Structure formats: C-alpha cells, structure tokens
Amino acid sequence: PPAHSRSDWIGPPDKLSNLRPVIFYVPPEETALERRLREARQEAQASNQRFWARHNRAFRQEKEEFIYSRLKAKGLEMRDESGQKATLNAEEMAEFYKDFLSKNLKKHLQYNRDWYKHNFRITFLMGQVALVRALRWLRRRKKNAEQ
C-alpha cells in the first residue's frame, strides 16, 4: 500500500489459510481506544491465520497420505501410465472426509469460541471508536458554528 494512504489495505487471499491479510494504518493521532481496536484486529488476524494455515496444511497432507495408502492397498501407483495423478473416487474419499471432520471437531469447537469472542470484541470496539469519533465531530461542528 502506498505510504501516503490513510486507510487500511486488504490483500489477496493467503495461499495457505485463504484469509485476506490486512495492513492496518496507524494514524499519528491514534487514541488509546483506537490502538486497542487495532491491536485486537491484529491479534484476531494472526490467530486466524495460524489456525487455518495449520489446518489446511494438515488437511492436504492427510489427504495425500490417505490417497497414497489406499492406492497402495489397491496396488496402484500415485501416477498412472500417462503421468496423471491417480485419484480415488468420491465414495472412498468420503471415508477420509468423515474421519477428518470427526478428528478435528474438538479443534473446531475451540476455534469457534475464540473466533466469536474476537469478532464480538472487535465489533464492539469499532462501535465505541465510531461513537467517539462522531461525538468529536459534532463537538467540532458546534465549536465552528459558535466561532
């Protein structure tokens, strides 16, 4: 993002986590409240990134392992004659999906709780910041009107 910009910038989805990173703008006159908001957002972003990058990587890995082990059991190689990657059909993969989901359920429950907490806190802080800014703006207008 350009140096003179006064707003946050959001980027393309991350390769691992599919989340879009945000670069936060730090205004020179940032109040304590605004700083808390920014830090909350940064923390949420980092935590989300960590979770999804790890989770997606695990998914990919386990999927490969599953396919490999199944192909091996069937006596096939990872790549067939034409050099194409061999795959299993939907029903076989379904077993993997079921397994993966049940294995990760607890992890997801914990993540859900954390995410909801982050989300509410951030939104609440945003509300506070917006309110403070609105009041400041109103006060400034009143002062201008008086002058």
Partner 1 sequence: MSAARSCRPPRALAGLFVWRLRNTGVRQIPCRFVHLYHVASNRLITFQYFNFLKRMYVTQCNKDLSQRAKPKSHSIASPFHELQQLDQEKKVVHKISPVSPVHQSWSEMSSSNEFGEIKSAAETEDSVITVGAESKEDRQWKEMKLRLDDLPGILARLSKIKLTALVVSTASAGFAMAPVPFELTCFLLASLGTGLASCAANSINQFFEVPFDSNMNRTKNRPLVRGQISPLLAVCFAASCGIPGIALLTLGVNPLTGALGAFNIFLYTCCYTPLKRMSIANTWVGAVVGAIPPIMGWTAATGSLDAGALLLGGILYSWQFPHFNALSWGLREDYSRGGYCMMSVTHPGLCRRVALRHCLALIGLSTVAPVLNITTWTFPVISLPINLYISYLGFRFYRDADRSSSRKLFFCSLWHLPMLLLVMFTCKKSVLEKEDKGDLPVGSHEMAMEIRLP
- State phi, psi for 24 to the nearest 5 degrees: -90, 140
Nearest CB to partner 1, comparing residues 35 and 108? 108
C-beta closer to partner 1: residue 133 or 140: 133
Q: Considering beta carbons, is residue 77 or 142 the nearer one to partner 1?
A: 77
Residues 132 and 32: their CA atoms lie apart, in Å, by 12
CA 53 to chain centre: 9
Query: Which residues have a Cβ under 8 Å from the Cβ of 4 and sit 6 or more positions away?
Result: none
Q: Which residues, numbered 24-63, are part of the site for partner 1 (CB under 8 A)?
A: 48, 52, 55-56, 59-60, 63
Q: Is 102 in the site for partner 1 (CB under 8 A)?
A: yes
Q: What does DSSP assign to residue 88? A: -
Q: What does 96-130 look like in DSSP terms, one character per residue?
A: HHHHHHHHHHHHHHHHHHHHHHHHHHHHHHHHHHH
User: In whole angstroms, how close is the CB of 51 to partner 1 at the nearest point?
Assistant: 8
Within 62-91, which residues bind partner 1 (CB under 8 A)?
63, 80, 84-91
User: Which positions lie near partner 1, rule CB under 8 A?
Assistant: 1, 5, 7-13, 15-20, 22-23, 48, 52, 55-56, 59-60, 63, 80, 84-91, 93-94, 96-98, 100-102, 104-105, 107-109, 111-112, 115-116, 119, 122-123, 126-127, 130
